[in-house]
């Protein structure tokens, strides 16, 4: 079974740009809430922390979803070194910078879930930037590729889920 680990930028895009929570977009959010009941949707704890900093109501809304899984950072701690190595993080500055960003935890969560007999897929709106040299400029798709983890774009995730569950609001 697939497990989808959604990054901060995808959630912010959905909530603030593509489907702002209002009457016009109520069907989308009803569909998304129902989706969490039929698919494994994970939000890393660090992503939730980043969303809380924005204080626009998104984190509260997500926390209210009964079937959404908030993935604890402690559950992926055994995979931090593998992810750090993929980022080529070598200095204290690199380590501090990665520790405060949710992307690192999205990837570590995918690594941890791959050991739990599920097929993790990182969902991100980030674009590949394979030429990035600074650790904190490296993108989720590039690190996933280095670690042989699946990833899909946020738009592809929506398309796949809408194709699979077109009438998921009832």
CATH classification at residue 49: 3.40.50.1010
Mean pLDDT of the chain: 91
In angstroms, the CA 138 to CA 80 distance is 16
Domains held by the chain: number: 1
Highest-confidence range of 3-7, 52-56, 137-141, by mean pLDDT? 3-7
Within-domain flag for 169: no
Reduced to 3 states, what is the DSSP secondary structure of residue 133? coil
Domain of residue 95, residue span: 2-164
Residue 153 confidence (pLDDT): 97
Q: Considering the entire predicted model, what is its pTM?
A: 0.91
Domain membership flag for residue 170: no
CB 95 within 8 Å of CB 124: no
CA 120 to chain centroid, in Å, comes to: 11
Whole-number pLDDT of residue 169: 58
**Other Cβ atoms within 10 Å of 163 Cβ, number:** 8
Which of 84, 139, 136, 91 lies closest to 108, judged by CA?
A: 84
Beta-carbon contacts of 132 under 8 Å, excluding residues fewer than 6 positions away, are: 138, 139, 142
User: In this predicted model, what pLDDT tens digit does every residue of 59-77 receive, in sequence order?
Assistant: 999 999 999 999 999 999 9
Q: Tell whether 80 is covered by a domain.
A: yes
């Amino acid at each position: 079974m697939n497990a989808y680990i959604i990054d901060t930028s995808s959630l912010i895009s959905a909530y603030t740009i593509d489907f702002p929570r209002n009457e016009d977009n109520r069907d989308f959010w009803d569909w998304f809430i129902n989706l969490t009941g039929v698919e494994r949707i994970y939000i890393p704890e660090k992503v939730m922390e980043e969303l809380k900093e924005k204080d626009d109501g998104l984190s509260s809304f997500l926390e209210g979803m009964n079937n959404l899984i908030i993935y604890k950072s402690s559950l992926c701690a055994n995979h931090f070194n593998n992810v750090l190595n993929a980022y080529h993080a070598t200095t204290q500055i690199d380590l501090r910078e990665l520790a405060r960003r949710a992307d690192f935890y999205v990837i570590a969560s995918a690594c941890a879930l791959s050991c739990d007999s599920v097929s993790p897929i990182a969902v991100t709106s980030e674009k590949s930037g394979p030429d990035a040299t600074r650790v904190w400029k490296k993108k989720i798709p590039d690190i996933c590729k280095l670690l042989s983890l699946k990833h899909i774009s946020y738009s592809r995730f929506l398309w796949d889920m809408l194709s699979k569950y077109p009438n998921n609001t009832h």
